[in-house]
Every structure is written in structure tokens, then in C-alpha cells.
Amino acid sequence: AQTVTQSQPEMSVQEAETVTLSCTYDTSENNYYLFWYKQPPSRQMILVIRQEAYKQQNATENRFSVNFQKAAKSFSLKISDSQLGDTAMYFCAFIVRYTGTASKLTFGTGTRLQVTL
């Protein structure tokens, strides 16, 4: 079974500062993907960034980047130049890629991020 652990239930960061959210996971599979999802108070789950496990290069999307340490099974999210609109619950999630069946997302428990003035 796959598990995802987010050890920071809540975090706070000042606008324009940088914050890092932690995530660790456990799996015996080799073909998998990792994600960070954002869920603002409006509640729609939005994909922030995706990392393929076979890629060594860390994924980046504008102000969002990850630090993927495969051996350590660690997948942290760095948000640079934080904005008020980044206030949300952030979920780390994991999918094992299977052939012929649907892939199922496993979520961590989430980190609530508050961006302050």
C-alpha cells in the first residue's frame, strides 16, 4: 500500500517570502507520479505541479518548484514570492502507474498555508 505523509498541518508565510511544504511517501513501486494540489476556500482541487518519478530533474511551474529526493522518498514544494492568493490547503498526492487499470490518487492529510501581509 502507498502512503503519503505531510507533517506540517499549518504554516504561515508573509507575502513575498518563500515557504517550503514537506511531504514524504512510501511505496515499493518504481513507476509513479507525485503531485501537489491546491484547494482554496472555494474548494475546487487545482493541480499545482507534477513530478514523474523517473525524471531526476525537479519540476518547476513559475513560482512553484519541488525538491524530489527519490531515495529518501521526499517531495517538498517550494513557493517563492508568496502571494495572498496562495492561501489554501495544499495536498501532496501520489499515483502508481498501472497498465490497463485506472490509476488512483492517494492524498496526504494536507498543509493549510496562510499568506499574510
Partner 1 sequence: DAMVIQNPRYQVTQFGKPVTLSCSQTLNHNVMYWYQQKSSQAPKLLFHYYDKDFNNEADTPDNFQSRRPNTSFCFLDIRSPGLGDAAMYLCATSRGDYGYTFGSGTRLTVV
Query: Given the complex with partner 1, which of 68 and 91 has the nearer CB atom?
Result: 91
Side-chain-side CA neighbours of 40 within 13 Å: the count stands at: 10
Indicate whether 68 belongs to the interface with partner 1 (CB under 8 A). no
Indicate whether 11 belongs to the interface with partner 1 (CB under 8 A). no
Select from 18-26, 61-69, 74-82, 106-114 the region that touches partner 1 (CB under 8 A): 106-114
DSSP 97-112: --SSS----EE---EE
Judge contact between 30 and 98, C-beta under 8 A.
no
CA 94, distance to chain mean position in Å, is 9
Indicate whether 91 belongs to the interface with partner 1 (CB under 8 A). yes
List residues binding partner 1 (CB under 8 A).
33, 35, 42-47, 50, 91, 95, 97, 101-105, 107-110, 112
